[in-house]
Structure 1
Amino acid sequence: MSTLSHQESHEPGATLWRDGRPVYDRGDTVCVVGAGASGLTAIKNLKEYGFGVDCYERETGVAGAWNWRHDRSPVYASTHLISSRPTTQFPDFPMPDTWPDYPHHSQVLSYLERYADHFDLRPHIWFGTEVIRVEPAEGDRWDVTTRSTGGYGAERTSRYAAVVVANGHNWSAKLPAYEGMEEYRGQVLHASAYKDATQLRGKRVLVVGGGNSGCDIAVEAGQQAARCWHSTRRGYWYVPKYVLGRPVDQVNDAVAALRLPLWLRQWIFHRTLRLLVGDLTRFGLPKPDHKVYETHPIANSQLIYHVGHGSITPVPDVARFHRNSVTLANGQEIEPDVVVLATGYLPRFEFLAPEILGTDRDGRPALYLNAFPRRFPTLAVVGLLQSDAALLPLAHWQTVAVARWLRLRETAPERARAFAGRVDAEAGVRWHSAKVKESTRHWFEIGHVDYLRALQRTLDDLEAVA
């Protein structure tokens, strides 16, 4: 049990004590963990609502996963957006009209750097500083303990009025435990360690995983490797990046705007894919075991092309590894030189006790709108979304909701209590009209139209009354 000092001075810099260590009081300042895209928009929107903000970023620059220089970045040389430019940009900071429909990762990095400069966010960010503990304190406040990245230097604990967690969820690799993998003599790497096609050139490559990264890496292996096998557990719907000459997400938004019932939208999408792509089983790919919208969309115009040209061989799931080979679920044995595990990521909040986010035994937190935990009204998580659309606009409106909520607690406590009741009742509700697959990859899956409608209702409810 932590011992909290009864010195409750809220003057910034006033020293409190916790477990024998000093705690520096930051008054009404809000702490943001992470300066990636979600963290940046959190800083910006909290500032606009009049809050002081301290942001801690473990790396030496902004942009999080989109900054390929960062140790935890999953970006590889050929990475492009899978959502189109107009649907990806922040609503109050457009990307240049001269940019392509699907910008390169270096352009996304420059965009986020310009966003930080335009809204003067860098003075609020402590770079090279990692958060190692976030602990509840008296009065719904939080003690945040930090140190220099890598464990160097002394720890420092500061007390904040609220904390916004924006540490990302695509950096902690999910690694499968295949039988015999420890005896395999070939190279095994997770997709997060894949950076360039030179790692595959002239080699026999097995890519495991049917997500967007797995498909992209399989396409690169199909062009550069001596042989490429692509292993998937189930069939997927492979959506071309262009439909009717327009980026597919823009066409999807136009259909969604018609407010057609889900079954009709699924029927339209199935018919469209049948016309554009054809019968996937003819290419040796497994038939999808689900309907469109029930798994995260695979936006890739090249996978079917390379399968059809023989440079990628679809194969089933891995059964086990041997010293020099891999046995597949159908009994086939192959001999890859390199195995790329594009098996996804798991969320990690190692600086928070699991019960704070209502985390279950599998590590999945229970949050209202994927943002607000029960019982802790001054804590929020932003960007914890897997969407059929781009993240940046969703994170923007999430952080507007967080800022309004924190402000409403001061100006209208009764209305704030009513919102807290909704958080308690609906934490863990999934905002998707389709029946989404139950897997770690789909823990945070949302339909962006359903989610934005729910978020709009929340924003209206949290609007301050003049």
Structure 2
Amino acid sequence: MQDSPDLGDRGDAVCVVGAGASGLTAIKNLREQGFAVDCYERETSVGGAWNWRHDRSPVYAGTHLVSSRPLTEFPDFPMPDTWPDYPGHGKVLEYLERYAKHFSLGDDIWYGMEVTEIVPVGDGRWDVTIRSTGGGTTRVQRYAAVVIANGHNWSPVTPEIPGDFIGQVIHANAYKDPARLRNKRILVIGGGNTGCDIAVEAAQHADRVWHSTRRGYWFAPKYVGSRPADQLASERAPSWLRRRRQRRIAADLTRWGMPAPEHTPNERNPVVNGLLPHYVGHGRIEPVPDVARYDGAEVVLADGRRIEPHLVITATGYRPRFDFAAPELLDADEHGRPDLHLHVFARTHPTLAVVGLVQPDSGLFPVAHWQSVAVARWLKLRARDPEKALAVQREESKRPLESWSRRRVVPARRYWFEVGHVDYLQAIESLLVRMEGTK
């Protein structure tokens, strides 16, 4: 690790923000296209969200992948065949550390350095302000491009629930160990993957568990027979066949009192949890509606029922935050949702890109890999032949949103970045072919 980078103009170098999985693959693929890279990581090691020693990590002791190993690994660096189908967070961190070491990515990472501002300065170049997290030292360096890879699961969203509660309320990002669940009554708020995982963990340790959800969801098991379910859905089959398979394995839990989904299994990514129906069906998890208010030791539900949990865990998601980038750089709306082509490319700043800002129905790592390949090749094409790059940009801007994004049903924040990974990767492949065709 180096103490500090050289000051001043970095020429054709690219700045990468963050050394989690998305930042690591961005470094590698940019270097393979001939770019010098400076990656700034506010923590003292790689891993991002998967390194639970980092203060922003949402990982807890029981965290495992919800996508199977073959659909989570980087395409050019497989996980060991001896690893389980769904590795735990410790193995995922080990994998990222191996990946960084194998490709010597640490040579380009500046640890303990936080990006505090990026400003366009003309001709596609950027002034990047970096601050040392140790001593507060600040400096500005100029780069040819900026790739943002700081993740979007670290700034928790806490629901605004009226009233006062004398028990304890924590967000899921503060939950780390099931020991705090034992011999307690637990209310989990939130029906996403994290909320369902924590509800299942609570069912194994707590005295009683309520699970509050605002809307209905489809649930997919991790296995169909002995095969990971996501591998069936990932096969390069016609879209109608993939949809049929999805409908066949997805289930709703309305007969146990959960709200009915307002969408089909194909329109939104399902919650991947085969144990939630098991524990609901065995009475260890009691589905309840939305929370209306707190009232002392009680929680009042939307249907008027009152319950008395000791601990409330709000698994209500995270807000994407790019404090160092003015909202207009990413064409963000009043809710903070960026408007990026393919959830990657800034529409008005061709040398600004975001890697990893997606929620696929499979693993993120291979998607981030191909995103960063596309970014690296785009920047190379723009430097080599700006006119052809502009032609590609104009053509890409005509691509229908529905060809790569899922925004058809519920405009809620949790759905902002959902993609079906097969269709999405085909869209990335189309862009890569188009850029290759400009030679």
The structure having more radius of gyration, on CA atoms, is 1
- Residue 132 of structure 1 is matched in structure 2 by 116
Question: Quick check: 1:335 aligned with 2:308?
Answer: yes
Unpaired stretches in structure 2, ≥5 consecutive residues: none
| Per-residue deviation, 1:415 | 1.1
Please tell me whether the aligned partners of residues 367 and 427 of structure 1 are also in contact (alpha carbons under 8 angstroms).
Answer: no
Structure 1 residues 370-423: Cα deviation after superposition (integer angstroms, max 9, x where no partner): 000112111110000011111100100110111111110122222101123245
- Residue 259 of structure 1 is matched in structure 2 by 238
Please tell me whether the aligned partners of residues 406 and 415 of structure 2 are also in contact (alpha carbons under 8 angstroms).
Answer: no
- Aligned counterpart in structure 1 of residue 279 of structure 2, from 285, 288, 306: 306
Please tell me whether the aligned partners of residues 233 and 245 of structure 2 are also in contact (alpha carbons under 8 angstroms).
Answer: no
- Residue 18 of structure 1 is matched in structure 2 by none
1-structure distance, mates of 2:260, 2:437: 51
| Per-residue deviation, 1:83 | 0.4
- Aligned counterpart in structure 1 of residue 380 of structure 2, from 404, 407, 417: 407
- Residue 79 of structure 2 is matched in structure 1 by 95
Question: Quick check: 1:108 aligned with 2:81?
Answer: no
- Residue 440 of structure 1 is matched in structure 2 by 413
Question: Quick check: 1:231 aligned with 2:212?
Answer: yes
Q: Which SS does the other structure have where 1:171 is aligned?
A: coil
Question: Quick check: 1:25 aligned with 2:9?
Answer: yes
Distance 1:376 1:426, change over 3 A: farther
- Residue 433 of structure 2 is matched in structure 1 by 460
Please tell me whether the aligned partners of residues 405 and 417 of structure 2 are also in contact (alpha carbons under 8 angstroms).
Answer: no
Distance 1:60 1:42, change over 3 A: same
| Per-residue deviation, 1:265 | 4.4
| Per-residue deviation, 1:429 | 6.2
- Aligned counterpart in structure 2 of residue 176 of structure 1, from 155, 159, 171: 159
Q: What letter corresponds to residue 435 of structure 1 in structure 2? A: R
Question: Quick check: 1:218 aligned with 2:199?
Answer: yes
Please tell me whether the aligned partners of residues 75 and 105 of structure 1 are also in contact (alpha carbons under 8 angstroms).
Answer: yes
1-structure distance, mates of 2:417, 2:233: 20
Q: Which SS does the other structure have where 2:204 is aligned?
A: helix
Structure 1 residues 122-169: Cα deviation after superposition (integer angstroms, max 9, x where no partner): 01000011110011113210011011126x332110001111000000
Deviates more, 1:164-173 or 1:288-297: 288-297
- Aligned counterpart in structure 1 of residue 68 of structure 2, from 84, 93, 102: 84
Please tell me whether the aligned partners of residues 114 and 132 of structure 2 are also in contact (alpha carbons under 8 angstroms).
Answer: yes
Please tell me whether the aligned partners of residues 407 and 416 of structure 2 are also in contact (alpha carbons under 8 angstroms).
Answer: no
Q: Which SS does the other structure have where 1:70 is aligned?
A: coil
Please tell me whether the aligned partners of residues 387 and 445 of structure 1 are also in contact (alpha carbons under 8 angstroms).
Answer: yes
Structure 1 residues 209-256: Cα deviation after superposition (integer angstroms, max 9, x where no partner): 0001000100111111111100001221111100132001001113xx
Question: Quick check: 1:48 aligned with 2:32?
Answer: yes
- Aligned counterpart in structure 2 of residue 57 of structure 1, from 33, 41, 44: 41
Task: Quote the RMSD (CA, aligned, Å).
Answer: 1.8
1-structure distance, mates of 2:417, 2:81: 31
Q: Which SS does the other structure have where 2:357 is aligned?
A: coil
1-structure distance, mates of 2:401, 2:331: 9
- Residue 199 of structure 1 is matched in structure 2 by 180
Please tell me whether the aligned partners of residues 436 and 445 of structure 1 are also in contact (alpha carbons under 8 angstroms).
Answer: no
2-structure distance, mates of 1:164, 1:429: 25
Deviates more, 1:101-110 or 1:230-239: 230-239
- Residue 171 of structure 2 is matched in structure 1 by 190
1-structure distance, mates of 2:244, 2:288: 28
Question: Quick check: 1:322 aligned with 2:295?
Answer: yes
| Per-residue deviation, 1:324 | 1.2
Please tell me whether the aligned partners of residues 366 and 427 of structure 1 are also in contact (alpha carbons under 8 angstroms).
Answer: no
Deviates more, 1:405-414 or 1:93-102: 405-414
Distance 1:365 1:460, change over 3 A: same
| Per-residue deviation, 1:286 | 2.7
2-structure distance, mates of 1:142, 1:323: 52
1-structure distance, mates of 2:263, 2:345: 30
2-structure distance, mates of 1:364, 1:434: 12
2-structure distance, mates of 1:156, 1:167: 20
Please tell me whether the aligned partners of residues 41 and 396 of structure 1 are also in contact (alpha carbons under 8 angstroms).
Answer: yes
2-structure distance, mates of 1:40, 1:167: 11
- Aligned counterpart in structure 1 of residue 18 of structure 2, from 9, 20, 34: 34
Q: What letter corresponds to residue 246 of structure 1 in structure 2? A: R
Using the size of structure 1 for normalisation, the TM-score is 0.90
| Per-residue deviation, 1:465 | 5.9
User: Sequence identity, in percent?
Assistant: 60
Map 1:344-355 onto structure 2 (within 5 A): 344-355=317-328
Q: Which SS does the other structure have where 1:224 is aligned?
A: coil
Please tell me whether the aligned partners of residues 342 and 405 of structure 2 are also in contact (alpha carbons under 8 angstroms).
Answer: no
2-structure distance, mates of 1:310, 1:87: 33
1-structure distance, mates of 2:260, 2:408: 18
- Residue 246 of structure 2 is matched in structure 1 by 269
Q: What letter corresponds to residue 270 of structure 1 in structure 2? A: R
Please tell me whether the aligned partners of residues 63 and 89 of structure 2 are also in contact (alpha carbons under 8 angstroms).
Answer: yes
- Residue 4 of structure 1 is matched in structure 2 by none
Question: Quick check: 1:149 aligned with 2:143?
Answer: no
